[in-house]
């Protein structure tokens, strides 16, 4: 708030004061008061008004600056009404009361939305657990059928299971801390297990897969397996027609372990690369093939953020894509 804006706000008061000063001067002059006395009176009036305006401006500016600091420091800014400082002005007290009532309504609405979201997530989780039973049964039945039909049904069943897992992990992605278990994880075993689950899908699409992950990290096996599964499925989805390869490897760095999932597929256009982790973004290849939901890499980035893992992407159109996961490891663990 600057002084000019303050004066504009007081324009009506200043106009009234000026009119009163002119009327008083005219009245005193008409009743025979000396012009010098009238001038002194008007000067004193103007001086008192100026001092009052300056003091009022300083008080109001200090008050609103205090409000701004409170608002900037508050984590939940909709609670401003509860944090507003006391004021002797009736106008401030009325505003504070109205803001408090408005904030209360907002809080009640937020709680209602949170409760509805919680109920929906619980329903999704319950539904996923229920639907996983018939998916597992179909898998067992198809394992006994060694013909082409059994393998094709198994592949489609695996795709269905992947979409179900995406729904479950998306529902839990905001509350990862309630579902994960951090422990020493061998990335070689985790990657091989994910490839084993997708073996028929890889064979069907003639994908050669190589795993060289001798390093261990401290993370949650289930969540990392889901992330790796999404990256492998993306590599298969955007493969080249012949000689397709996937390479999963790790490398120790000064303060962590770098896991790389690299393919020699279609690659990503340079202008699309910064957006591959955005929610719902499918890209040119996804629109052409019509199999992309735009959720796989988005979920990977979201889960990596919750687990403290940095994820990045490098690609050259027509030459493949490389996704990197950087697991932070303390100096003590790196030395032992």
The last residue of a domain, from among 26, 49, 73: 73
Q: What's the token pair of residue 65?
A: 């600056």
Length of the chain: 336
Q: Tens digit of pLDDT for each residue in 194-227?
A: 998 888 888 888 889 999 999 989 888 988 999 9
Angle at 122 between CA 120 and CA 128, to 5 degrees: 100
Say if 275 falls within a structural domain: yes
Q: Is residue 322 part of a domain?
A: yes
The H or E element containing residue 100 is helix 90-144
Tens of pLDDT along 235-266? 988 888 888 999 999 998 888 899 999 999 88
Exposure string for 134-148, b = 16+ CB within 10 A, e = fewer: eeeebeeebeeeeee
Residue 176 pLDDT exceeds 50: yes
Domain that holds residue 244: 185-335
50 in the same domain as 190: no
Mark which of 49, 73, 97 sits at the end of a domain.
Answer: 73
Contact present, 244 and 265 (Cβ < 8 Å) = yes
Asked if residue 325 belongs to a domain, the reply is yes
Q: Specify the DSSP class assigned to residue 87.
A: -
Alpha-carbon distance values, 127 to 61, 134, 164, 168, 275 (Å): 57, 12, 9, 9, 31
Q: How far apart are CA 94 and CA 99, in angstroms?
A: 9
* Same domain? 331 vs 195: yes
Which of 33, 48, 73 lies at the terminal end of a domain, its last residue? 73
Give the tens place of pLDDT for each residue, 61-116. Answer: 988 888 888 888 888 777 788 788 888 888 888 888 888 888 888 888 888 888 88
Q: Is residue 240 part of a domain?
A: yes
Q: Cβ(299)–Cβ(170) under 8 Å? A: yes
| Cα Rg of the chain (Å, integer) | 34
pLDDT, tens only, 271-327:
988 898 988 888 777 776 656 677 888 889 988 988 889 999 999 888 899 999 999
Question: Could you tell me if 135 and 155 are in contact, meaning their C-beta atoms sit under 8 angstroms apart?
Answer: no
320 lies in the same domain as 193: yes
User: What is the spatial distance between Cα 326 and Cα 336, in angstroms, rounded to a whole number?
Assistant: 19
Phi first, then psi: what are they for 314, rounded to 5°? -130, 140
Report if residue 93 sits inside a domain: no
**88 inside domain:** no
Answer yes or no: is pLDDT of 336 > 70: no
Q: Specify the DSSP class assigned to residue 248.
A: E
> CB–CB of 214/324 below 8 Å?
no
> Quick one: 68 and 191 in the same domain?
no
* Residue 48 in domain: yes
Containing H/E element for 10?
Answer: none
Q: Which tokens in the block code for residue 204?
A: 């069907």
SS3 state of residue 175: helix
**Inside any domain, residue 115:** no
> What is the pairing mode between strands 256-263 and 310-316?
unpaired
Report the first-to-last Cα separation within the chain, whole angstroms: 59
Contacts of 251 (CB under 8 A, 6+ apart): 215, 257, 258, 260
Nearest to 14 by CA among 53, 65, 44: 53
Q: Does residue 311 sit in the same domain as residue 189?
A: yes
Number of domains in the chain: 2
Indicate the SS3 state at residue 80: helix
pLDDT in tens, 121-137: 778 878 887 887 888 88
The pLDDT value given to residue 324: 95
CA distance 206 to 210: 13
- Residues β-bridged to residue 212: 249
H-run or E-run covering 323: strand 320-328
pLDDT higher than 80, residue 147: no
pLDDT tens per residue, range 17-62: 999 999 999 998 888 888 898 899 999 999 999 999 999 999 989 8
Residue 242's Cβ-count burial label (10 Å; 0-12, 13-18, 19+) is exposed
| CATH classification of the domain holding 269 | 3.30.565.10
DSSP calls for 187-201? HHHHHHHHHHHTHHH
Dihedral angle sign, alpha carbons of residues 174, 179, 183, 184: negative
């Amino acid at each position: 708030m600057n002084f000019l804006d303050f004066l504009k706000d007081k324009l009506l008061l200043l106009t009234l004061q000026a009119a009163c000063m002119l009327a008083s001067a005219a009245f005193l002059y008409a009743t025979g008061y000396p012009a010098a006395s009238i001038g002194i009176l008007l000067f004193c009036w103007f001086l008192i008004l100026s001092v009052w305006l300056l003091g009022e401006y300083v008080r109001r500016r200090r008050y609103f600056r205090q409000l701004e600091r409170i608002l900037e420091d508050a984590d939940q800014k909709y609670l401003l009404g509860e944090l507003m400082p006391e004021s002797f002005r009736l106008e401030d007290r009325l505003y504070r009361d109205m803001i408090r009532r408005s904030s209360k309504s907002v809080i009640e609405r937020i709680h209602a939305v949170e409760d509805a979201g919680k109920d929906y997530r619980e329903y999704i989780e319950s539904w996923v657990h229920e639907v996983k039973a018939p998916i597992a049964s179909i898998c067992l039945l198809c394992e006994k059928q060694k013909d082409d039909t059994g393998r094709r049904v198994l592949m489609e069943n695996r795709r269905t299971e992947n979409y179900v897992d995406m729904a479950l992990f998306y529902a839990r992605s905001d509350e990862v801390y309630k579902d994960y278990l951090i422990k020493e994880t061998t990335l070689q075993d985790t990657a091989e297990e994910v490839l084993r689950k997708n073996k028929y899908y890889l064979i069907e699409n003639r994908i050669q897969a190589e795993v060289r992950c001798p390093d261990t990290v401290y993370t949650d096996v289930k969540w990392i397996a889901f992330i790796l599964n999404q990256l492998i499925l993306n590599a298969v989805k955007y493969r080249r027609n012949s000689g397709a390869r996937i390479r999963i490897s790790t490398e120790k760095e000064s303060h962590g372990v770098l896991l790389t999932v690299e393919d020699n597929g279609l690659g990503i256009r340079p202008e699309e690369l910064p957006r591959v982790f955005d929610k719902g973004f499918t890209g040119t290849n996804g629109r052409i093939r019509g199999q992309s939901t735009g959720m796989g890499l988005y979920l990977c980035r979201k889960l990596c953020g919750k687990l403290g893992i940095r994820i990045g992407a490098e690609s050259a159109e027509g030459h493949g894509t490389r996704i990197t996961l950087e697991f932070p490891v303390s100096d003590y663990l790196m030395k032992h």
